[in-house]
Structure 1
Amino acid sequence: MKIDGYTRLAAVVARPIRHSLSPMIHNAAFEATAVNGVYVAWDIAETDLQATLENVRRYDMFGINLSMPYKSAVIPYLDELSPEAALIGAVNTVVNSGGKLIGHNTDGQGFLVSLGEYSVAGQEMAIIGAGGAGLAIIAQAALNGARAIHVFSRQQSVTKVSRSLEPIVAQTGVELTVTALNESEELQRLLKQSSLLVNSSSLGMDGHSYPLPAEVQLPANLLVADIIYHPFETPLLKRAKSEGLPTINGLGMLLHQAALAFELWTGKAMPVDLIWPQLEEVVKTRT
């Protein structure tokens, strides 16, 4: 990688962030595309967030990515929001367009791209959890024409989740239901209507916890996806795979949301086929 007086900077901003794989992904992309850029990780306090955004302009950076806890906190310091970022009230990518800072959210679209040939348009889907990443997936699926989205949530969170999804329903008109995870019969009925099941919760990250009641069956022809990529195969994916169902873990979402950000910054496509095996190897060695 060549660094000179014309090198531009990009960064991921969060707390904590030292564990992030984003520097590996983006620096590989800069090198492969011959874009003169460098990507670093910044662990900053929230009190420094405004100054960080000012520095994006000051130093003519490509922009920044954001992770927790700053995806919503950054919004007051931006000049404009993309439709999906405005819809969910969260930003994971800031683009410096000639000094104008535009907030995007590539999480939802990155996930949908990771599904390959599968399209949510006209389909019913189910999703476990509606936190940051889950909300982005729900919003993007609605924007992409999903016929119905069934959200499975903890019983104590059903009312809160329902309220958080009201703007998506109002803007897109999507049919959206919220069901408590302890309502096994209703979960089973909604799964039978769905062609896609997504786990966007943290259940399974420990390698042991299973996000659905054990008695709920996974219907035939259901595509099962998990946004977790460490471990590489969660208990949900293991069960689905053992029953002959197609499965997708969260590594594709990680890569494709980064690819969308890279293209927003540089105008060039990230060579995901080149970076994928490198990323897969890094993740597997951490497992």
Structure 2
Amino acid sequence: MTSKAFVAGHPVDHSRSPLIFRHWFERYSIDGDYQRADVPPEGLADFVAGLRAGAFVGGNVTVPHKQAVLGFCDAIDKAAAAIGAVNILAVEAGRINGSNSDWYGLLANFDDRAPGWDEKPGSAIVVGAGGAARGVVYGLALRGFSPIRILNRTAEKAAALAKALAPGIGAELQGFALTDFTALAREAGLVVNTSTIGMHGSRFADLPLASLPDTALVADIVYTPLRTPLLAEADARGLRTIDGLGMLLHQAVPAFETWFGFRPEVTPELRALVERDMGLT
């Protein structure tokens, strides 16, 4: 019997998760199916309630539902509780269990693309105070980075996120405006962009990298384009960089293992497959 899973969001037609999962189904000879489910916010409660019937073994949850779906779960894991967001649902005997693998995807991508990146954890800057920042902050705290400065166009929103995350995260969290970047960058060993700036080639107007140490690492979770203007600027300065595609690939690993009982690998072959689908090769 085919085990079925899904990715639920709104919109969701752009998701490349089905491509990733179908690659693993074929590679590991697993009888599985993975499909998109476009679920508007007003339909989320009914959608999750319908999962209890058992037609699906589980699914991924993406924008804009990662925080809202928490309220429909019967249980959540430690990471989801600390982050305040769920991106994996597992259906077991009519119960809905929620977990979060965004932080895992970030760390696994960094470990893969920049081995040793966390040998000397110190101050880190996270750009953006939206939902994507939550898993990034949690992951960096796990690897010992502190203080973690959250920067946003609106300083109040950055401060509010820092306050919300602080109880479940073992690091000093601070919120600032983007205009504070230059002063804070002087002691930052890591910068991670979690905002949508950079998507489709858009640029930051107030994120000068000149004040970063020469040893700093600059990462972007945006993967369309693969080389965002931020990463291009960091490359030009000779800084180490990490693109966002690997995070997408690695965050899928715990989900696949949860539903299908097998831990898949993120291989160069899989990355190349997704890059071709994006029109990059």
TM over 0.5: yes
Q: State the shift of 1:247 in Å.
A: 0.9
| Aligned with 1:206 (options 200, 206, 225) | 200
Aligned residue number for residue 132 of structure 1: 131
Q: Which moved more, 1:162-171 or 1:15-24?
A: 162-171
Q: Given that residues 13 and 41 in structure 1 are in contact (C-alpha distance below 8 angstroms), is that contact kept between their aligned partners in structure 2?
A: yes
Q: State the shift of 1:170 in Å.
A: 2.5
- Say whether 1:177 aligns with 2:174: yes
* Pairing 1:39-118 to 2, within 5 Å after superposition: 39-116=34-111, 117=115, 118=117
* Pairing 1:1-287 to 2, within 5 Å after superposition: 6-116=1-111, 117=115, 118-119=117-118, 122-154=121-153, 157-183=154-180, 187-210=181-204, 212-214=206-208, 216-273=210-267, 274-285=269-280
Aligned-partner Cα distance in 2 for 1:208–1:18 = 22
Q: Given that residues 150 and 162 in structure 2 are in contact (C-alpha distance below 8 angstroms), is that contact kept between their aligned partners in structure 1?
A: no
Query: Runs of 5+ in structure 2 lacking a partner?
Result: none
Q: Given that residues 60 and 99 in structure 1 are in contact (C-alpha distance below 8 angstroms), is that contact kept between their aligned partners in structure 2?
A: no
CA separation of 1:120 and 1:204: change in aligned 2, threshold 3 A: farther
Aligned-partner Cα distance in 1 for 2:199–2:188 = 24
CA separation of 1:86 and 1:215: change in aligned 2, threshold 3 A: closer
Q: Given that residues 110 and 260 in structure 1 are in contact (C-alpha distance below 8 angstroms), is that contact kept between their aligned partners in structure 2?
A: no
The amino acid that maps onto 2:218 is V
Q: Given that residues 56 and 96 in structure 1 are in contact (C-alpha distance below 8 angstroms), is that contact kept between their aligned partners in structure 2?
A: yes
CA RMSD, 1 decimal = 2.1
Aligned-partner Cα distance in 1 for 2:226–2:144 = 30
Q: State the shift of 1:216 in Å.
A: 4.4
Query: Runs of 5+ in structure 1 lacking a partner?
Result: 1-5
Q: State the shift of 1:240 in Å.
A: 0.9
Aligned-partner Cα distance in 2 for 1:215–1:50 = 43
Q: State the shift of 1:169 in Å.
A: 2.0
Q: Which moved more, 1:9-18 or 1:169-178?
A: 169-178
TM-score, length basis structure 1: 0.88
Q: Given that residues 110 and 254 in structure 1 are in contact (C-alpha distance below 8 angstroms), is that contact kept between their aligned partners in structure 2?
A: yes
CA separation of 1:182 and 1:271: change in aligned 2, threshold 3 A: same
Aligned-partner Cα distance in 1 for 2:260–2:158 = 36
- Three-state SS of the structure 2 residue aligned to 1:151 is strand
Q: Given that residues 60 and 96 in structure 1 are in contact (C-alpha distance below 8 angstroms), is that contact kept between their aligned partners in structure 2?
A: no
- Three-state SS of the structure 1 residue aligned to 2:253 is helix
TM-score, length basis structure 2: 0.90
- Three-state SS of the structure 2 residue aligned to 1:115 is helix
- Three-state SS of the structure 2 residue aligned to 1:270 is coil
Aligned-partner Cα distance in 1 for 2:134–2:227 = 23
- Three-state SS of the structure 2 residue aligned to 1:195 is strand
Percent of pairs identical after alignment?
34
Aligned length: 276
Q: Which moved more, 1:114-123 or 1:173-182?
A: 114-123
Aligned-partner Cα distance in 1 for 2:105–2:184 = 25
- Three-state SS of the structure 2 residue aligned to 1:210 is coil
Deviating beyond 6 angstroms after TM superposition, the runs of 4 or more aligned structure 1 residues are: none
Q: Which moved more, 1:262-271 or 1:104-113?
A: 262-271
Q: Which moved more, 1:134-143 or 1:245-254?
A: 134-143
Q: Which moved more, 1:82-91 or 1:142-151?
A: 142-151
Aligned-partner Cα distance in 2 for 1:264–1:140 = 20
- Three-state SS of the structure 1 residue aligned to 2:80 is helix
Q: State the shift of 1:211 in Å.
A: 5.7
Q: State the shift of 1:165 in Å.
A: 2.0
- Three-state SS of the structure 1 residue aligned to 2:199 is coil
